[in-house]
Amino acid sequence: MTDDTLTVAGRKVCPWVGSDPVYLDYHDHEWGIPVHDDRQFFELLSLEAMQAGLSWITILRRRDAFREAFDDFYPDKIALYDESDITRLMQNAAIIRNRRKIEAIIRNAKAFLEVQKSHDTFDAFLWSYAPDGTIVNRWENIRDIPARSPLSEQLSHDLKQLGFSFVGPTIMYAFLQASGVIDDHLASCDRATPGQS
């Protein structure tokens, strides 16, 4: 077995955490933990869209600014955004000022509300892709973790059909990890589910 974990403060954690406390907090309290709150799902979808082409730590460090700028990621509020809101967001130096990504979040809010109408909740829609619960992988080496999977490809395809954008298979794999549909903590990580390593 290859021990590919990093030791931080006497604990073994996944090596992508590095020495950054923001990453450590995210690793310990969010990554791979199942989400069932629709607002939180929409926040993660939006942040993953913003992350495209950037590092995740850049997004996490600006998370509070994103929440303030985007009405705490309530999709019913964002779905009503108009050109004046886009202008306001494009002038906000605290967030990522990418017009295509901002427009995608607004478009995705509208699509998100449609999913809620047809499935009652986005939670019900998303977890239908993992009816047996979180998909637990216990990779031994960080290089074994895929960038995409058949599940992320299917989810990407389906969301695009529903009108979402910035939901490619790689972005969706990261979203599935962030929302706990997939748990990719390494087998040697202290966050690995007991009995699953």
Catalytic residues: 26, 48, 56
How far apart are alpha carbons 156 and 62 in whole angstroms?
25
